[in-house]
Amino acid sequence: FKDGKEITDPYQKIVTLTGAVQKNIDSIRERSIALAGVTSGEVIEVFGMVASQVGQIGGGLKEAEDLAINFAAALGTFGIPLYQARQEIGSILRGDITTDSYLAKALGITNEDIAKAKTQTGGIVKFLENRLAAAVAGQKIAALGFAGVVSNIKDLGELVGQNFGRGMLQPLLNSL
């Protein structure tokens, strides 16, 4: 939907969705400064993972953005490498937590918790936001330390490069 009207043209659907996703990505770039040890690019990677599954738990792009920030914070807090994020986050969102689901264990989340959350007000999204809140708070404190400053310097480099390139890319895209 755009301006209250359903979009039926596939091309327009893609253009509209791309604009919505870009707003989430821009927001993630700003919000990730409060995280230590991860760059906005890494949080955007987590966003992609969450966004591809958030519909299954009754969420949308805004919830995917919030959960991506929260999950990235938790992964950093518990020292779980980003390459494990897809498995860790997927097992939680699916309610398929096994013995190798380190993040779920660290957060004290079980399959039963996920099943119960499905039936409660706010659902799985609200349940996860509550469980991840402590990790986010810890990351805000850690962001003020050395690891946070280093990741913010990396982020600054990414943002400068992206903003510099954005002005150069748009005329090229317009010509296509």
| pLDDT digits 0-9 by tens, 35-74 | 877 788 889 999 999 999 999 999 999 999 999 999 998 9
Q: Are 79 and 135 in contact (CB under 8 A)?
A: no
CA–CA distance, 105 with 97 (Å, rounded to integer) = 9
Mean pLDDT value across residues 144-156:
62
Burial 25-63 (b: 16+ CB within 10 A, else e): beebbebbbbbbbbbbbbbbbbbebbbebbeebebebeb
pTM equals 0.75
Residues 6+ apart with CB under 8 A from 148: 35, 36, 37, 142
Confidence at 87, pLDDT banded by 50, 70, 90: very high
The per-residue pLDDT of the chain, averaged, comes to 82
What pLDDT does 82 receive?
A: 85
Residue 99 backbone dihedrals phi, psi, to 5 degrees: -65, -20
Instruction: Return the higher-pLDDT residue of 158 and 90.
Output: 90
Mean pLDDT value across residues 1-6:
64
What pLDDT does 46 receive?
A: 94
Q: Are 103 and 78 in contact (CB under 8 A)?
A: yes
CA–CA distance, 176 with 174 (Å, rounded to integer) = 5
Q: Look up residue 53 and give its two tokens.
A: 């599954």
Does the pLDDT value for residue 81 go beyond 80?
A: yes
Q: List the one residue out of 151, 155, 129 whose CA is nearest residue 29.
A: 155
